[in-house]
Amino acid sequence: MLIAITHYDTISLQPNSGANGEFAGLMAIKKYHESRGEGDRNICLIPTSAHGTNPATAVMCGMKVVPIPCDANGNIDVDIVREKCEQYKGKISAAMITYPSTHGVFEARVKDVCDIVHADGGQIYLDGANLNAVLGLTSPGIIGADVGHLNLHKTFAIPHGGGGPGVGAIGAKQHLKPFIPGHSVAPVAGRKNGAVAAAPYGNGGILPISYSFIKLLGKDGLLKSAKISILNANYIMHRLQNDFKVVFTGDDDRVAHELILDCSGFKKTAGITEEDIAKRLMDYGFHAPTMSWPVVGGLMIEPTESEDKLEIDRFIDAFKTIREEIAEIERGEVDKEDNVLKNAPHTLSHLTADEWEHSYSRQKAGYPAKWIQLRGKVWPTVGRID
């Protein structure tokens, strides 16, 4: 089923995480070049928008990382890719790309990048962290990838909060099949070398979750889940773009599966950072989205397909209310230090203490939105830690 979805020729379920899958995939590329007498290929092109694991993995595999900048819209600078392939002609081992990108845009010229790298004999590693926005619309194989991981613990429903358990399965084209993970004790399809995990099929015990997810949704359901992932992100972007600065959008002024809010301007106008916003979200009952990356001072929001509209509307309402709380500081109506953002999150013990020395009310601190009382309050267990 994963082969049908990705248009790869083979799948290894052994890697236990996305980073583990990256290692397995890049090692397969490395061994492929060595088998062809081109072991001196050691340059790995990586966009500056890449996940931090990408350059770390390349270095672990003995490759030299050459960063590729992005343009103003967040896309890989294709001209620089061409320039670097010319500069390191015959030395390109791989390019690691993410589609859609970590900037939350579909790389419009992703095939051009693949073609340029392939023309020099390099391989394309496609980071499949965002495959949930691709299902049924396109695939790594169609795009031109040679190998890449799929986060089954994201796109295919295995819960991955708290660091696991994960499955960073990798897919590969036929020419890389001999070099994907085997196992010395329990050979995988005859392969005995290259294990990246203790068990031949990794976290096999949780695979029925992904199997069931795919079977129950079917082809049409998977396509719908990708469309809903994109729709949810664009709905949030549309509702918040007048209150916050959305950093990257595609050619049609839309995002892909996620959006990045640049909150750095609030530091100048109100002394508020993205961390203050993240802490304040806890008072509304929300765990903060990815903070300070890939844009410094930013919040990266990825709703996926799993939240209903009511919950997304609550989330948007929380952001809009927080924006008004920032505006109160900007207008000088609230103290720059003693305010709901700087003191967030507010615990139950804090709100029920005999002493309350803040300039704002307990109600505003702990119940900033009307729907919190209807929904039920999720209390943070600790306040701000210095």
Q: Give tens-digit pLDDT for 230-264.
A: 999 999 999 999 999 999 998 789 999 999 999 99
Where does the pLDDT of residue 165 fall: very low under 50, low under 70, confident under 90, or very high at 90 and above?
confident
Report which of 115, 100, 121, 118 is spatially closest to residue 47, judged by C-alpha positions: 100
8 Å CB contact between 13 and 207: yes
Q: What is the pTM for the complete model shown?
A: 0.93
Cα–Cα dist 54/96, whole Å: 7
Q: Give tens-digit pLDDT for 342-356.
A: 999 999 999 999 999
Cα–Cα dist 236/315, whole Å: 9
Q: Which residues contact 325 (CB under 8 A, 6 or more apart)?
A: 280, 334, 339, 340, 341, 368
Identify the pLDDT of residue 163. 67
Q: Could you give the domains of the chain? A: 2-210 (3.40.640.10), 263-375 (3.90.1150)
